[in-house]
């Protein structure tokens, strides 16, 4: 019971700090928030217009009162109104998030499969041509800029061969974006998994398993592979939050109206409510993913689960 109370307090503190960060991002940003909301670069406004909006938005109140009002709105799931569209921020994020989640999720699944295959191939043949081949593939992949790769895929498969649609809104349109994202993110996964497998094959518990006469396939599948998945799951979990916000290049090339494009437009047009909501969303997603990664450790390594029960 005490352990759960401590974790509940940790979650509450994390969420509170996240709201502080998202609130201060706007307050510490260069420029005047009121002038940005009025879009003074496109329309003419008077000083009285500026003062009226400041009062309407509560921007003339002390900073702690502004934060209190912001926090109360969040508790009511009111993330404000987008200055770009005039619609609730939550509506824009709800429309954009699924596309990015599908793109990032399937890219991560594909990267996991490729990392497993190439990493295993390399680790089982250390110093031999399969190892050099796997490392060569990852080196070439990591050397390709995402924007160049996306344009190459478009020119070859959409314009040249006409096998796939150029826009993600059409059937099969997500194939090229997923390929592009997968190639961009897979190199570190392969490297981490390959090195983890090599280290695990020389571990004491693996040598003990071999000494008991177990078949090499059993030792590798039951002990080496399972232990080596922990670093791979860790780095993939850590990168998913970044993927959700870092898909902007791929979304731009393939005309995907996802979170990346939404945030890019929000930054360009200083849509502060949307930026604040995005920071909160990514923070919560990263927190939840880290929790799932921790739970996966208990399945991948029985020793961790046993230690957790003793605690």
* pLDDT grade for 234, boundaries at 50, 70 and 90: confident
Task: Give the number of C-alpha atoms closer than 13 A to the C-alpha of residue 263, restricted to the C-beta side.
Answer: 20
What percentage of the chain reaches a pLDDT higher than 70? 85
Domains of the chain: 32-77 (no CATH), 96-269 (1.10.3720.10)
pLDDT beyond 60 at 43: no
Tell me the pLDDT of the chain averaged across its residues: 81
pLDDT beyond 80 at 249: yes
pLDDT beyond 80 at 64: yes
Q: What is the pLDDT of residues 67-124, one digit of tens each?
A: 888 888 888 888 888 877 888 889 999 998 888 888 988 999 999 999 999 999 998 8
pLDDT beyond 60 at 219: yes
* pLDDT grade for 47, boundaries at 50, 70 and 90: low
Q: What is the pLDDT of residues 270-295, one digit of tens each?
A: 788 888 888 888 888 888 888 888 77
What percentage of the chain reaches a pLDDT higher than 90? 17
Q: Looking at residue 49, what is its pLDDT?
A: 65
Q: Looking at residue 39, what is its pLDDT?
A: 57
Contact by Cβ (8 Å): 147, 180: no
* pLDDT grade for 183, boundaries at 50, 70 and 90: very high
The stretch 27-47 carries a mean pLDDT of 61
Higher pLDDT, residue 305 or 238:
238
pLDDT beyond 60 at 188: yes
Q: Looking at residue 176, what is its pLDDT?
A: 92
* pLDDT grade for 46, boundaries at 50, 70 and 90: low
pLDDT beyond 70 at 35: no
Rounded to the nearest 10°, the torsion over CA 6, 77, 35, 269 is 90
Q: Looking at residue 227, what is its pLDDT?
A: 78
Q: What is the pLDDT of residues 138-159, one digit of tens each?
A: 999 988 888 899 999 999 998 8
């Amino acid at each position: 019971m005490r352990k759960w109370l401590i974790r509940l307090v940790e979650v509450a503190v994390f969420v509170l700090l996240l709201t502080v960060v998202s609130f201060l991002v706007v307050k510490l940003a260069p420029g005047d928030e009121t002038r940005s909301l009025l879009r003074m670069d496109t329309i003419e406004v008077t000083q009285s217009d500026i003062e009226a909006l400041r009062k309407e938005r509560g921007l003339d109140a002390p900073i702690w009162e502004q934060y209190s009002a912001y926090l109360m709105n969040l508790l009511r799931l009111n993330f404000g109104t987008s200055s770009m569209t005039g619609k609730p921020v939550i509506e824009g994020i709800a429309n954009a998030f699924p596309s990015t989640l599908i793109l990032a999720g399937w890219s991560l699944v594909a990267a996991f499969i490729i990392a497993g295959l190439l990493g295993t191939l390399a680790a089982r043949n250390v110093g031999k041509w399969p190892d050099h081949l796997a490392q060569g593939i990852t080196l070439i992949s990591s050397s390709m800029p995402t924007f160049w790769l996306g344009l190459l895929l478009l020119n070859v498969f959409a314009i040249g061969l006409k096998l796939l649609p150029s826009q993600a809104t059409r059937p099969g349109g997500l194939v090229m974006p997923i390929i592009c994202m997968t190639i961009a993110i897979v190199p570190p996964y392969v490297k981490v998994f390959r090195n983890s497998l090599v280290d695990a094959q020389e571990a004491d518990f693996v040598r003990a398993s071999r000494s008991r006469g177990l078949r090499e396939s059993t030792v590798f599948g039951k002990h080496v592979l399972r232990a080596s998945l922990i670093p791979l799951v860790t780095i993939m979990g850590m990168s998913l939050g970044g993927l959700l916000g870092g898909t902007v290049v791929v979304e731009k090339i393939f005309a995907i109206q996802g979170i990346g494009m939404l945030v890019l437009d929000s930054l360009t047009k200083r849509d502060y409510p949307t930026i604040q909501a995005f920071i909160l969303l990514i923070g919560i997603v990263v927190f939840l993913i880290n929790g799932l990664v921790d739970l996966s450790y208990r399945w991948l390594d029985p020793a961790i689960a046993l230690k957790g029960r003793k605690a």
